[in-house]
Amino acid sequence: MKKIGILFGKERGFADAVIENINSKKIKGIKAESVYIEKVEHGEASGYAVIIDRISQKVPFYRSYLKSAALHGTAVINNPFWLSADENFFNNSLATKIKVAVPKTVILPSRNLPPGTTDEEFSNLAYPLDWDKIFQYIGFPAYMKPFSGEGNQKIYKITHMNDFFAKHAETGGLVMMLQEEIIFEEYYRCFCVGGKYIRVNSYEPRNPYGSRYAVNFNPDSKKIKSLEDIVSRVNKYLGYDFSSVDIAMRDDVLYAVDFCNPSPDLEKETIGQDNFDWLIEVISTYAIDKALDQKNGKDNLTWGEYIRKSAS
């Protein structure tokens, strides 16, 4: 029996629906259930052919567990090794290499020194930075956000130079990015599963949280194809099994503005019944396919094109 496990946090509706959907298909040798962990020993297999990960970005213990499981052949959705290295600034840099437009972005050293360091360990870093050139490049208004998915996820809107310095002082030891604001005419949130199942949604991030999908920009077939191409390229190179990609349109240019989101909100009340039903079906199908292909003791993870090309 090959088991498909769902590892989740407070979100229940999605996990329960995937388990029910997979089991309802009655595929011989396949069973879905919630992951249950009693102990984790080094060198011990997890007992799962596939694990769908919805929570390890918040729980380091789970991330380590998933890496250990992957060593013994568990196909983890998404690859826990890549997620441990994944960060927004690198992904923006990679996007420029694969011809995906992204907002102008700079990375900033943390406002406070990292623990255990002194000024002497930063002789390679100019002090102060060339703030005039940075602000000229990015422009105002701008957004300041963490450079990775870890830690405080607060995003600051910056309106002028003094506003930046006041808000940067609040970030403490976090490494932040400063990014130009894309004042968009249209905005889309796209779900991607397995690099081949793509669903394009009109989305309005300025709406209250529960009504952001309640908008229709009515993209034509050509625009949908362009959106799908961006989503496919991003996921192919980063190696996500599942993610959402936010794309903003300004002056007919499509910008990938948020694509480091391997665990987006999937509550039915937020994304709507149609999106929920579509995701349950395609994720179930993808997980079953991964389980059928999975081989114990082998590497069954998905690796992005960037890693593949670097390794070869």
Residue-wise pLDDT for 226-250, tens only, equals 999 999 999 999 999 999 999 999 9
The average pLDDT across 7-26 equals 96
Q: What is the average pLDDT across 264-277?
A: 94
Contact at 8 Å (CB) between 88 and 145? Answer: yes
The reported pLDDT for the residue numbered 150 is 52
Q: pTM for the full model?
A: 0.93
The pLDDT of residue 151 is above 70: no
Mean per-residue pLDDT, 164-177: 95
Q: Which residues contact 300 (CB under 8 A, 6 or more apart)?
A: 70, 73, 74, 75, 290, 293, 294
Q: Tokens 């002056």 label which residue?
A: 251
Task: Please choose, from the candidates 292, 189, 308, 191, the residue with its C-alpha nearest in 3D space to the C-alpha of residue 239.
Answer: 308
Q: Supply the pLDDT for residue 105.
A: 97
Residue 149: the pLDDT is: 64
**92: pLDDT strictly greater than 90:** yes
pLDDT, tens only, 285-296: 999 999 999 999
Whole-angstrom distance, CA of residue 76 vs CA of residue 64 = 12
Tell me which of 151 and 200 has the higher pLDDT: 200
What percent of the chain is predicted at pLDDT more than 70?
98
Mean pLDDT confidence for 284-309? 95
Q: Predicted confidence band at 152 (pLDDT cuts at 50, 70, 90)? A: very low
Answer whether residue 260 shows pLDDT above 90.
no
Q: Which of 123, 132, 120, 125 is nearest to 110 (CA)?
A: 125
Mode of pairing for the β-strands spanning 75-77 and 50-53: parallel
Structural domain 2-84+286-301, CATH architecture: 3-Layer(aba) Sandwich (3.40)
Percent of the chain with pLDDT over 90: 88
d(CA 61, CA 65): 6
Q: Any idea which fold 104-180 has?
A: Dna Ligase; domain 1 (3.30.1490)
**Looking at residue 148, what is its pLDDT?**
82
Contact 305, 237 (CB under 8 A): yes
CA triplet 246, 101, 227: central angle to 5 degrees?
50
- Where do the domains of the chain lie? 2-84+286-301, 87-101+182-261, 104-180
* Average pLDDT rounded to a whole number, residues 54-65: 94
Number of residues in the chain: 312
Q: Which CATH class is domain 87-101+182-261?
A: alpha beta
* Residue 129: C-alpha distances to residues 109, 116, 124, 134, 157 (Å): 9, 22, 12, 8, 20
Give 199-217 pLDDT, tens digit per residue. Answer: 999 999 999 988 999 999 9
Write down the pLDDT at residue 81: 95
Question: How far from each other are the two terminal CA atoms of the chain, in whole angstroms?
Answer: 35
Residue-averaged pLDDT of the chain: 94
